[in-house]
Amino acid sequence: DIQMTQSPSTLSASVGDRVTITCRASQSISRWLAWYQQKPGTAPKLLIYEASSLHNGVPSRFSGSGSGTEFTLTISSLQPDDFATYYCQQYNSYSTFGQGTKLEIK
């Protein structure tokens, strides 16, 4: 099965910062990758699908890129509402998630 590895596991940043989270697949998944945001006690929210397509209603400060085995989620200017845990999900073969990246306030 395909393993998804996110880095870093924890990221400390400030409001206004540009941040990037990386997700690596154990084998090529083409562009079959989604990103989610999850806040404590709530369900994940879809941000991006097919590596770079922004889901309806998601702010344009979020962007995704990559193909094959390496992908990134970028937040261009962090807002207070963005501090959360982020997960990647591959759906090239069945479906597996990364272990998550917790974005904390510095």
Partner 1 sequence: QVQLQESGPGLVKPPETLSLTCTVSGYSISSGYYWGWIRQPPGKGLEWIGSIYHSGSTYYNPSLKSRVTISVDTSKNQFSLKLNFVTAADTAVYYCASVAYCSSTSCYYSDYWGQGTLVTVSS
Q: Which residues make up the interface to partner 1 (CB under 8 A)? A: 1, 32, 34, 36, 42-46, 49, 55, 87, 89, 91-100
CB of 4 or CB of 75, closer to partner 1: 4
CB of 56 or CB of 60, closer to partner 1: 56
Q: Which amino acid is at 54?
A: L
Beta pairing, strands 96-97 & 85-90: antiparallel
Sequence-separated contacts (24+) of 44-50 with Cβ below 8 Å:
44/87, 47/73, 47/86, 48/73
The distance of closest approach from Cβ of residue 16 to partner 1 in the complex, given in angstroms and rounded to an integer, is: 29
Angle at 100 between CA 12 and CA 8, to 5 degrees: 45
The distance of closest approach from Cβ of residue 50 to partner 1 in the complex, given in angstroms and rounded to an integer, is: 9
User: Is residue 100 within 8 Å of residue 7, measured between CB atoms?
Assistant: no
The distance of closest approach from Cβ of residue 102 to partner 1 in the complex, given in angstroms and rounded to an integer, is: 11
CB of 32 or CB of 62, closer to partner 1: 32
CB of 72 or CB of 100, closer to partner 1: 100
Beta pairing, strands 62-67 & 70-75: antiparallel
The distance of closest approach from Cβ of residue 103 to partner 1 in the complex, given in angstroms and rounded to an integer, is: 15
